[in-house]
């Protein structure tokens, strides 16, 4: 009887460990990340309906969208799956499109305040966004993860 109880206890502990490990992996995959100067958004960066647009600028390890109608610029949280392409010195979008400095981009998203980024990226991304913010209202450009980004060269 003790052997069965011990086996059941080990099985329960293994299942709890496996479940918590899987949960951590899922949460980490959804949280976004930082890849070079790219702040990648979480998988749930949808729900805002503003037009995010501007010209890509790179300065001091920060990526910005320069607003077309003002002198303001905004650090960018890109859709989940976006990465920095070191060889091309550009932003690689989830669909494979490469965005270089000087390219104009537009897509659905929003401009949340820098202190309100918890749902958009992980703590590393939030920290980089705070370091890079450089506009009057401390806002960040965030692209929705389920919408395409248009690139004009």
Q: At 24, is the pLDDT very low, low, confident or very high (cuts 50, 70, 90)?
A: very low
Topology at the third CATH level for domain 33-152: OB fold (Dihydrolipoamide Acetyltransferase, E2P) (2.40.50)
45-61 per-residue burial string, b: 16 or more CB within 10 A, e: under 16: bbeeeeebbbbbbeeee
* pLDDT on residue 94: 96
First to last CA, the chain: 73
62: three-class secondary structure by DSSP: strand
* pLDDT on residue 19: 38
User: In degrees, to the nearest 5, what angle opens at C-alpha 15 toward C-alphas 12 and 19?
Assistant: 140
pTM across the whole model: 0.79
What residue segments make up the domains of the chain, in order of their start?
1-30, 33-152
> pLDDT tens for residues 61-86?
999 999 878 889 999 999 999 999 99
């Amino acid at each position: 009887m003790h052997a069965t109880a011990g086996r059941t206890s080990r099985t329960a502990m293994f299942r709890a460990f496996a479940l918590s490990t899987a949960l951590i992996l899922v949460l980490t995959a959804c949280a976004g990340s930082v890849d070079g100067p790219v702040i990648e958004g979480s998988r749930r960066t949808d729900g805002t309906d503003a037009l995010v647009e501007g010209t890509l600028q790179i300065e001091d390890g920060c990526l910005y969208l320069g607003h077309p109608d003002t002198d303001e610029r905004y650090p960018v949280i890109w859709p989940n799956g976006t990465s920095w392409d070191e060889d091309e010195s550009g932003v690689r979008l989830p669909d494979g499109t490469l965005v270089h400095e000087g390219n104009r981009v537009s897509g659905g998203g929003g401009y949340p305040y820098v202190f309100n980024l918890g749902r958009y990226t992980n703590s590393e991304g939030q920290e980089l966004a705070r370091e890079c913010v450089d506009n009057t209202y401390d806002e960040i450009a965030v692209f929705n993860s389920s919408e395409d980004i248009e690139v004009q060269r």
